[in-house]
Amino acid sequence: MNLYITGGGTGGHVTPGLAIARYVKEHEPNSSIRFAGTKKGIESRLVPREGYPLDEIEIIGLSRKVSPQGLAHNAKAAYLTVTAVHRAKKLLRAAKPDCVLGCGGYVSFPIVKAAQQLGVPTVLLEVNALPGKVTQQLAAKADRVLICFEQTRALLGNRENIRLTGAPVRPEILEADRKKARARYGLAESDKLVVSFWGSMGALYMNRHMAGMLALEAREGTAFRHIHATGAAAAKWMPDEVKKRGADLKDFPRIELTEYIYDMADRMAAADLIICRAGAATIGELCALGRPSIMVPSPYVAENHQEKNARALEEAGACRVVLEPGCTPEQLLAAAKELINDDARLASMRRAAASLSAKDADGEIYAQLKAVVAAHRT
């Protein structure tokens, strides 16, 4: 298969494409795979690291500001979209793909649009419960629209080209073993572990609240162990912030601060409770591992889609949602203690999360890609 993948801006639009690329390569070693993305997006780092070529597209998203600056920005965005579609056509004519897979983010628009205009088969992968603008605009002419939440189907008009596949998940998550992971970290059966993170860069507002929560944990002598990934932006100041709030973490070995959790698959598998944002990639991993969670959706994302993701899990009984506006360290700690001390509730949440998992999502997406390619060849 000659596959062309596009998506970017955030990890949630890049990692699913990388997961599918790995799956295709495993099953078709002679396949040809290329990516398209922006020079400044996270895809410019993640894709080359995985060994795939990345074609650069210059494009920017629309501004929501109603101001002269916002209007000027949107005028530039409109111009770049037109030129990006022209460049995309040149790239596609050179690559001659059997299929284009769009994983979301504004950079995917010109590639998928150009493919549809050229008659190249297109498949859209919508990882969020609330479909993004690109999916909404291009779904009607796509050969397939693959969704990860059943609720998304109605939001896209119940089109016949929609298939529920679930979100692709990294192999290390699927292979993680809870018993082995807990043994790796010296956790007894009765030990409780909380793992928390806000993403690779962290989140200033929520990291301040987490600093307060950790200080409260230390002062109260809470019984559970806790590891928090600060992200790059907070790695230097957060230990001092916790100290300012009355707790020197050097004196509390049960609480650990780290910039990044490199062994995330095992940490999540070993955890009894996870505190995190509600990005689609994170949700897919939580469900694959069957982990209970407290989700604090980012309010800074398009159309508040993270809250929609979190509410879908909450309705299933797999998580508790805490909204960032009005959130306090005391509220976070109270929610964590309430859940961590309720074994029956945790067990119920584990079952609910696992019931939402699509463990063979990669295989199902691969099958859909092959079906689309085969249909165009007949």
Question: Which residues neighbour 297 within 8 Å (Cβ) at sequence distance 6 or greater?
Answer: 277, 278, 304, 306, 307, 309, 310, 321, 323, 324
Q: Is 276 helix (H, G, I), strand (E, B) or coil?
A: strand
Q: CATH no. for residue 89?
A: 3.40.50.2000
What is the reported pLDDT for 257? 95
Residue 353 has pLDDT above 80, yes or no: yes
CA–CA dist 90, 329 (Å, integer):
52
How many separate domains does the chain show? 2
Q: Tens of pLDDT along 29-76?
A: 999 999 999 888 889 988 999 999 999 988 766 556 657 676 665 676
Regarding whether 146 and 37 lie in a shared domain, the answer is: yes
Regarding whether 281 and 187 lie in a shared domain, the answer is: yes
Regarding whether 244 and 113 lie in a shared domain, the answer is: no
Q: Tens of pLDDT along 211-241?
A: 999 999 999 988 899 999 998 889 899 999 9
Regarding whether 329 and 233 lie in a shared domain, the answer is: yes
What is the reported pLDDT for 58? 81
Edge to edge, what strands does the sheet with 225-229 contain? Answer: 255-258, 225-229, 193-197, 273-276, 293-295, 319-321
Regarding whether 218 and 150 lie in a shared domain, the answer is: no
Q: Domain range for residue 18?
A: 2-168+360-377
Regarding whether 347 and 206 lie in a shared domain, the answer is: yes
Regarding whether 38 and 84 lie in a shared domain, the answer is: yes
Regarding whether 149 and 130 lie in a shared domain, the answer is: yes
Nearest Cα residue to 110 out of 83, 148, 135: 83
On whether the CB atoms of residues 185 and 177 are closer than 8 A, the answer is no
Torsion, Cα of 313, 316, 318, 320 (10° steps): 70
Regarding whether 262 and 164 lie in a shared domain, the answer is: no
Regarding whether 177 and 135 lie in a shared domain, the answer is: no
Q: Tens of pLDDT along 175-211?
A: 999 999 999 999 999 999 999 999 765 688 899 999 9
Regarding whether 218 and 81 lie in a shared domain, the answer is: no
Regarding whether 275 and 148 lie in a shared domain, the answer is: no
Residue 12 has pLDDT above 90, yes or no: no
CA–CA dist 225, 194 (Å, integer):
6
Helix (H) or strand (E) holding 187: none
pTM for the full predicted model: 0.81
What is the reported pLDDT for 223? 87
What is the reported pLDDT for 134? 93
What mean pLDDT comes out for the span 230-258? 92
